[in-house]
Structure 1
């Protein structure tokens, strides 16, 4: 999937990683970039087309797919995170909220745009996942549940969209320096670096990318005996 002349639709594009995806798409020569956010007035990047979209609102998702019928690349970037362990008070409600956005919201957008991508030659679907797809720690345990489910959903979408020629890329990454990770005392990647690696993998035809060395190491450790995920508690 080449970005030059592509028509790109990005969820959660008003800040952070989504904004970086939008900037890089424009710089790479995309024909058009739809920048979607719950408040389109918060989108200030010149050159994009603001779209009102809450991924948890089925009617807004359907309207976006109907109005943006020229899309060839969908970037499922919108996501939320709440800290805490699974035994904490309120963890079930917090995990439900993250599942709604990180899994069901992503699926709503993917389902709505799948026919659009098919009509436009197949195109591609890029979903932002996490090292937490593979690894759970008490500070982000509910988030890890949602991202593990989103990883499985991404793999399922890849299987179902293969027949229409749609490339599906899952993006796994550690901490990124955005509002989502404020307060975390850990090394963080620059959003522009993550996007550069993601788009390079997309153009290379990849199905999955682990962006940083830490995430790559975690992926390798999944096949250890015992698996790296069994006793990780940081």
Structure 2
């Protein structure tokens, strides 16, 4: 029986461009992910990691192959179903953070809930709990420009988690961190794993790869 966060990728090929300029960052990729696991997708920069996350998040349509999550094949989903997948099933933390500069930390984390009609007081309470749990209780009302790279990364992760998604995707979460911060980030990533949630991290950082339960190699070696 398919669990809430089972992910099945089969024969996935992504083509960018057409004709002689067509490139395939992903070709005939297959793997299975299950909930309660920390899965790492590894490859060097430009190796297709971000492309894969975009497909899993429903932001990019593959040329061939299938992606099935919680029993639903994304390629066969209607536009409203795809929007529902992104809203209800996926949390995404971008490498570049993509925080809104004019909003403070708690407002950035609240934003996805407000867009789905959650009451402001409920959204603020949930965002405050998440940020406080990540050691940012003293930075709730600071805007991104006054936060360090590590702090911005944690805000981005909190924003991705605020809707309690069964699939959480993180793109190079240690890219902007110094050595002491990497250990804290690894601890945080492990803490996100639970029954009913698959955490999938794209990285070429060996420290993250070694902390994973499962590893998908897009190239050999990573």
Whether these two folds match at TM > 0.5 is no
Query: Which has more helix, going by share of residues?
Result: 1
Query: Which has more strand, going by share of residues?
Result: 2
| Normalised TM-score (structure 2) | 0.30
Tell me: higher relative CO, structure 1 or 2? Use CA pairs within 8 A at least 6 residues apart: 2
